[in-house]
A = this chain, B = another copy of it.
């Protein structure tokens, strides 16, 4: 485990204010980051909700069609790893997206048991619209940040992610992130 005895000067004042509740001076909770993450994510995922409603979809559909679009040829098993849900739960949502033509599937050539998933033009359009909303928020937030700061933000988010058993999608993402910092080209 990590030594947490030293605290950053930047966050000292807030933690001092909040210290009285925990009573554990060795490991002051990072209330600031914990709560900022909560609110940031709340508003971040809230953006697409209205649009999704119009399509009769929920956040589950968004996640599925997003990753299928971004990683064409994704297998069902990959999707399960990424979303951390059961196949029964994925089944319903995926079936809707297939029936309504947002996603198509093809049998794998090497292994014909696999169902490789692809977003249709309709699916791509939906993903693009939703990503546009979220991108607007991100660009607004990053407006006055320097490239160095933006890089640090990405590095932080990346460092928050479990490395224990990274799934296929995550390996690509983390590979790209590190390629940005150390110059290695790691394209698919």
Contact = CB atoms under 8 A, between A and B. Distances in A.
Given A9-B147, A14-B128, A145-B156, A30 B116 contact: no
Nearest to A31: B70
A29 interface: yes
B170 A30 contact: no
Nearest to A63: B38
A110 to B, nearest CB: 6
Contacts of A21: 69-70, 124-125, 128-129, 132
A161 to B, nearest CB: 5
Name which of A24, A27, A157 has the most chain B CB atoms within 10 A of its CB: A157
A119 B21 CA distance: 11
> Within the oligomer, what is the number of copies of this chain?
2
A28 B132 CA distance: 8
Contact-size category for A: 35 or more
Nearest to A181: B10
A7 interface: yes
A148 B10 contact: yes
Given A132-B27, A149-B149, A139 B4 contact: yes
Contact of A11 (B11, B24, B41, B150): B150
A99 interface: no
Top 8 A-B pairs ranked by shortest CB distance? A141-B159, A36-B157, A4-B73, A40-B160, A29-B131, A10-B147, A149-B152, A10-B151
